Structure 1
């Protein structure tokens, strides 16, 4: 048994059991991958994969148990490599953050600026996606951390910690009738076309839930992943917008007005997620603390070690 065989098993699963694609990803030949997997199965005395002819179709029951062990072993190997890299170069390396558009556009710029000033030799990458996509990126080692709302807390294999709280706001043109209300209601909002986030983004589930509880069916005119897009269509007087509070800047959005909506949709929590058991380089801890000063290295390490302590803001 060798590490190459374990890598081939893991990559075959990651490539949806396509050995040709697995071979390409690992810069080797398809026959070599196939032969190594068969040799490992013979050594273990079990079939890891179910097959139809020469094609593998999925994992067998013992194969699923083998995959869990393979993932743990490869994670430890990756951790050893990262330890070596960190001690060889304390202030340089690569760092990939998977996040949503809202976080990348409105929350992270000042944090990224402070981080790059502190670690100018670190190559920082931002990858955008919806909460499900960015969670998968971390689980597949395509990103070091993910930053999004509560949605990422539900993924098995991730450790998530709260960063900060925020509320939704309603954005309207300068002379909109809703500005005359002391405190807007869901019934009032339901009387206008609504422009807001796609269902996978930025607390949209809380918006939908609030209307559903009151048996209201809002007229969702347009859905977008980008608050700037939402605000653009509100400026065209096509409807009222519901966006994250952080996405509104009175100086930048001079043609719009913001109306607090926390009493309608509740409080949201943005979270940072790491792969359970992963090795984090020192500057990753620094970035997280710049993002959320309450999350110091000791607290993160306790959470990563599997302590069941509850961390909430």
Structure 2
């Protein structure tokens, strides 16, 4: 695209329309709108009068959302996120997705073993999209999702909080790895018992990570004692120390590439398969770049996520703002684009303003119901 869409400019020009007033957004979003506090406060007061309800509790300089205000905020946030991605979504429709950024939170094992091929495929298909991989633990990844510092997370989850959606995409088995020639390596999987493992020192990831919790739970369930002689961060480190004969370990076979000098015995009899999947904050708007990456990572996953994240629901909500009428339709040489992709534009003229002269020549603008 010759000229990128400026989302802040769109907000200031389009959102204060009769169709979708700017004062639907509370002051906590002030920095995202580049508006002044007094102006937004007046708009909030006008909205409170129109809705006949209180959106904020005001106690001196402190402002707190009421229950009604929180409900309105949950509706507003995805719409704001959608505005941020208007240019990106439009470019995707034209097959011109050549700018944008994706922030992915993931642990070391996911980054090393699960993401390389999808990242490579996406980078080759969309070289203009920046990918940021944040190597974080599960708790830190959740914090990034909630703060909107990560678009989504990829990893394994034992417990799924109420404010996120987790969709598993692949399962891995649990394996015992030992040095070559170890006594336990000579046992067949069907004859290996947990109490056979107990006397040998385990090398495990740090206690605060999920692997330790899983191992501890399974051994406790079977009333078997075990000992940890070495804590090490990262599967590559653990495999190296097992190769050196410093202990044995219980790992998820996501980390086993076949190049390790270790013996492997399945522990599927005792440990459930470990799922790895995608975690998205509920009501998170999924930009075109995010959707394309997720489709490469797990084809069909968008069909699963859209209702849960509110992505499709938000589109329907935006259409209802216009009494379910199509405002404008754009016809391109490839396809016809419905106005639902531009929910905050209220006239053909406003839409045309944000595209270059060359781009405008590629479209036929039809005024359907404005």
Same fold flag (TM > 0.5):
yes
Evaluate the alpha carbon distance shift between residue 306 and residue 42 of structure 1 in structure 2; reply closer, same or farther with a 3 A threshold: closer
SS in 2 for 1:212: helix
* Alpha-carbon shift at residue 88 of structure 1 (Å): 4.3
1:223 is the counterpart of 2:222: no
1:5 is the counterpart of 2:10: no
Cα distance between partner residues in 2 of 1:212 and 1:117: 47
Q: How large is the RMSD of aligned CA atoms in angstroms?
A: 3.2
* Alpha-carbon shift at residue 303 of structure 1 (Å): 3.5
SS in 1 for 2:249: strand
Evaluate the alpha carbon distance shift between residue 40 and residue 224 of structure 1 in structure 2; reply closer, same or farther with a 3 A threshold: farther
Evaluate the alpha carbon distance shift between residue 265 and residue 80 of structure 1 in structure 2; reply closer, same or farther with a 3 A threshold: same
Q: Are the counterparts in 1 of residues 169 and 275 from structure 2 also a CA contact under 8 Å? A: yes
Structure number, greater radius of gyration: 2
Cα distance between partner residues in 2 of 1:200 and 1:100: 13
> Which residues of 2 match residues 64-103 of structure 1 at below 5 A?
66-67=69-70, 69-88=72-91, 90-92=96-98, 93-103=100-110
Equivalent of 2:213 in 187, 192, 205:
205
Equivalent of 2:306 in 294, 297, 301:
301
Please name the residue that 1:155 is paired with.
Answer: 161
Say how many residue pairs are matched. Answer: 277
Cα distance between partner residues in 2 of 1:38 and 1:282: 33
* Alpha-carbon shift at residue 193 of structure 1 (Å): 0.9
Cα distance between partner residues in 2 of 1:46 and 1:296: 36
Equivalent of 1:238 in 231, 241, 246:
246
Per-residue CA distance 1:210-234 (angstroms, 9 max, x = gap): 1110122321223344101211222
* Alpha-carbon shift at residue 144 of structure 1 (Å): 1.1
Please name the residue that 2:184 is paired with.
Answer: 178
Per-residue CA distance 1:151-175 (angstroms, 9 max, x = gap): 3x51222122110111121111112
Please name the residue that 2:284 is paired with.
Answer: 278
* Alpha-carbon shift at residue 187 of structure 1 (Å): 0.7
Unaligned stretches of 5+ residues in structure 1: 9-24, 308-313
Evaluate the alpha carbon distance shift between residue 232 and residue 306 of structure 1 in structure 2; reply closer, same or farther with a 3 A threshold: same
TM-score by length of 2: 0.65
1:107 is the counterpart of 2:114: yes
Q: Which moved more, 1:171-180 or 1:37-46?
A: 37-46
Please name the residue that 2:196 is paired with.
Answer: 188
Q: Are the counterparts in 2 of residues 248 and 258 from structure 1 also a CA contact under 8 Å? A: no
Q: Are the counterparts in 2 of residues 101 and 225 from structure 1 also a CA contact under 8 Å? A: no
* Alpha-carbon shift at residue 194 of structure 1 (Å): 0.8
Q: Are the counterparts in 1 of residues 106 and 155 from structure 2 also a CA contact under 8 Å? A: yes
SS in 2 for 1:270: strand
Q: Are the counterparts in 2 of residues 5 and 40 from structure 1 also a CA contact under 8 Å? A: no
Q: Are the counterparts in 1 of residues 285 and 311 from structure 2 also a CA contact under 8 Å? A: no
TM-score by length of 1: 0.75
Per-residue CA distance 1:179-233 (angstroms, 9 max, x = gap): 1212222111111111122344454433221111012232122334410121122
Cα distance between partner residues in 2 of 1:50 and 1:189: 61
* Alpha-carbon shift at residue 75 of structure 1 (Å): 3.0
Evaluate the alpha carbon distance shift between residue 201 and residue 50 of structure 1 in structure 2; reply closer, same or farther with a 3 A threshold: farther
Q: Are the counterparts in 2 of residues 160 and 271 from structure 1 also a CA contact under 8 Å? A: yes
SS in 1 for 2:269: helix
* Alpha-carbon shift at residue 68 of structure 1 (Å): 5.0
